[in-house]
Structure 1
Amino acid sequence: MIAPSPAGSTGVPASAVVPPRRRPYAAAFRALLCAAAVTGIVIDLFIGDPSRVPIYFTIQSNALLALTLGWSAVRAWTGGPPLSPRLTGGALLFIVITGLVYHLILANDASGFSMTDDPAHRDTGWHTVSNQLLHTVTPIGAVLDWLLLTAPGGLAYRYAAQWLAYPAAYFAFALLRGAALTPGTPARYPYPFLDAAAHGYAGVATNALVLGLLFYALALSLVALDRVRPYLQPRENRISPTRAGGLK
């Protein structure tokens, strides 16, 4: 015997009344963006030292984005519920950090922390392809996916501080790894602003504090923009049936 449902509800699951809404275009876009991130990572693994490639924030943030987009693409294709905004927002923040740090600092000779003179990071051949995929294509694509294919209002201000746990953990990892390696080891510190041998621990801590505050401001800005941006997707009609004719 089926117990009566509360508050006049019929007890029928919503999925039995309204069929799942598949989003093939969103699925296709996310699958392509996922492929771009994976391709860039694979290229770096083939042309670089596979033991060192995974230590870079660029690789880790793109790997997280690829997993998130791949999972989200499956959900969109099958009509499943969207992923948690805490997860997708974090992946978005990290890949935007990757793009901004690369273009404004690492590829900028005026920044004081440029890596353009490093032969291992010089833009030549396949390295140029991977650089553009991992530092330009995926950040821009992730922002477009968020603005055009994701419903607004899902991000909360408390997420901003939570997301910073990963950059903070990466900072600690980079310093501990560098301290454990002998001087002169290639890529002992993955990024110039984290090079304790060159800047001292006080200098690196200052760099990390400044970047951390900027990252927090960026995270808060994403949440604030998410609260006011319009929803560019057509809202699904929950009353009319999904067939030709009638209301849509």
Structure 2
Amino acid sequence: MTVVFRALTAVCAVAGIVALQVWNHGDWGSFVYFTVQSAVIIAVVSAVAVFRPVPAWVRGAATLYSCITGIVYHTLLANPSSPFYQADSGAHTLHNLLLHSAVPILAAITWLVVERERVRWWYAAAWLCYPLAYLVFALVRGAFVHEYPYPFIDVNKLGGLGVTETSLGFTVAFFLLGLALIGLGVLLRRLLTRDRAGETAPAEDPASV
């Protein structure tokens, strides 16, 4: 079952990237987006994990980044009530459905339900290294090309202070999301262990009651 979910996650991630490239007529500029980069990460990690062990902290990081992609897209970019709503987000295109819905859901299910790995709580902080590095990359790139991949880090529209405030908010939110992935994994593992223990426990002898 684990191998199936890992393989399905990798296939959906690759299919989403390919579909996006077809949609953009082969424009490699789409790889500037966190969505595509996180899809590459989860695809590689999931594919490798099909054939050989991958450390839980690596798979946890890839899962977090995929979940970030899905949550940010659906709550901010494709949500009409969000100040960062993008009306032309193409929510119903194949690549969006794969990259922003299918892959994050599969990644979360694999981590929480299928694998339930034990990891350290402080990993939630370590996992932020990539999102923070991406932020630096996006801001430095934007300073030269005067374009930013996402409206919530657009210095031209929000100004330096506005981007700082949103970035701090995202950092805290992503840290809490990482803790949630770890905590839910621990909870589900304990529940499953308890259920198995109950199933394997010897039944009481009625005569001894």
- The interval holding the TM-score normalised by the smaller chain is 0.7 to 0.9
Q: Which residue of 2 aligns with 1:59?
A: 36
Of residues 41, 46, 56 in structure 1, which corresponds to 2:22? 46
**3-state SS of paired residue (1:52):** helix
Match of 1:163 in 2: 127
Task: State the 1:26 CA deviation.
Answer: 2.1
Deviation of 1:230 (Å): 2.5
Alpha-carbon distance in 2 for matches of 1:230, 1:220: 15
> TM-score, structure 2 length as denominator?
0.86
Aligned to 1:144: 109
* Cross-structure match for 2:97: 132
Contact 1:56 1:190 in 2 (8 A): yes
| Matched AA of 1:57 | F
1:228 shift after superposition? 2.1
- Contact kept, 8 Å, 2:90 with 2:96, in 1: the verdict is no
* Structure 2 unmatched runs, 5+: 197-209
Correspondences of 1:96-135 after superposition (within 5 Å): 96-116=67-87, 118=88, 121-123=89-91, 128-135=93-100
C-alpha separation in 2, matches of 1:148 and 1:229: 7
CA distance in 2, matches of 1:108, 1:54: 23
Q: Aligned residue for 1:244?
A: none
CA distance in structure 2 between the partners assigned to 1:123 and 1:161 by the alignment: 31
Deviation at 1:177, TM superposition (A): 0.6
4+ residue segments displaced more than 4 Å: 231-235
- 1:196 partnered with 2:147: no
Q: TM-score, length-normalised on structure 1? A: 0.73
Cα root mean square deviation, aligned: 1.9
Q: Aligned equivalents of 2:18 and 2:103: distance in 1?
A: 14
Give distance in 1, aligned partners of 2:138 and 2:42: 21
Residue type of the alignment partner of 1:228? L
Partner of 1:209: 168
Match of 2:47 in 1: 70
CA deviation vs aligned residue, 1:33-63 (integer Å, no higher than 9, x gap): 2111001001111221623110000001111
- Measured at CA, do residues 228 and 123 of structure 1 come closer, stay the same or move farther in structure 2, by a change above 3 Å? closer
CA shift for structure 1 position 131: 0.2
Structure-2 separation of matches of 1:148 and 1:221: 14
Q: Which has the higher helix share?
A: 2
Cα deviation 1:115-167 (Å, max 9, x = unaligned) = 22x3xx3346xxx1110000000111111111222143x21112111110111
Question: How many corresponding residue pairs?
Answer: 193
Q: What SS class does the counterpart of residue 229 from structure 1 fall into?
A: helix
Bigger CA radius of gyration = 1
Q: Contact 1:108 / 1:114 at 8 angstroms: preserved in 2?
A: yes
In 2, Cα distance between equivalents of 1:123 and 1:107: 7
Q: Give the residue type in structure 2 aligned to 1:157.
A: W
The answer to whether the 8 Å contact 1:155/1:226 transfers is no
Secondary structure at the aligned position of 2:81 is classed as: helix
CA distance in 1, matches of 2:91, 2:127: 31
The residue type paired with residue 83 of structure 1 is V
CA contact (8 A) 2:19 2:95 kept: yes
Given the alignment, which residue of 33, 46, 63 partners 1:92? 63
Q: State the identity %.
A: 38
